A = this chain, B = another copy of it.
Amino acid sequence: MAVLLAGCATAPAQDAPSPAPAPLTADSPAPDTMRWLYGSGEAAGVSIQAMRQLADYAVTQSRLRNIPQSVPMGIEGTIRSESCIDGNRIKPLAVVFDVDETIVLNAGYEAWLAQGNTYSSESWQRWEERGGPLARPVPGAVTALRRLRDAGITPVFNTNRQHSPEGARQAIETAGLGKAVHRETLFLRGDDGNEGSGKDGRRAAIASRYCIIALAGDNLGDFADLFNAPALSPQERRELAARGEYAQLWGAGWFALPNPAYGDSLKGTIREVFGRDADWSPQPGDAPPIANEGSK
Contact = CB atoms under 8 A, between A and B. Distances in A.
Interface in A216-266: 218-220, 227, 234-235, 237-242, 247, 250-252, 254-266
A239 B139 CA distance: 10
Contacts of A21: 10-11, 15-16
A127 B282 CA distance: 7
Nearest to A143: B247
Nearest to A21: B11
Contacts of A133: 288-290
Given A3-B124, A280-B134, A238 B31 contact: no
A29 interface: yes
Interface in A183-242: 197, 218-220, 227, 234-235, 237-242
A126 B9 contact: no
Given A13-B15, A14-B10, A161 B1 contact: yes
Contacts of A42: 218-220, 241, 256, 258-259, 263, 265
B52 A24 contact: no
B49 A110 contact: no
Nearest to A40: B265
A38 B14 CA distance: 26
Interface in A123-147: 123-124, 126-127, 130-134, 139-140
Interface stretch (A65-73, A79-87, A270-278): A270-278
A150 interface: no
Interface in A1-40: 1-17, 19, 21-22, 24-40
23 contacts: A1-B100, A6-B6, A8-B8, A8-B32, A9-B31, A13-B15, A16-B19, A27-B270, A30-B274, A32-B261, A33-B33, A35-B265, A41-B242, A42-B259, A42-B263, A48-B250, A107-B278, A108-B278, A111-B279, A112-B281, A123-B282, A134-B277, A258-B260
The 9 closest A-B pairs by CB, nearest first: A41-B241, A49-B251, A7-B12, A108-B280, A45-B256, A44-B242, A40-B265, A39-B273, A3-B119
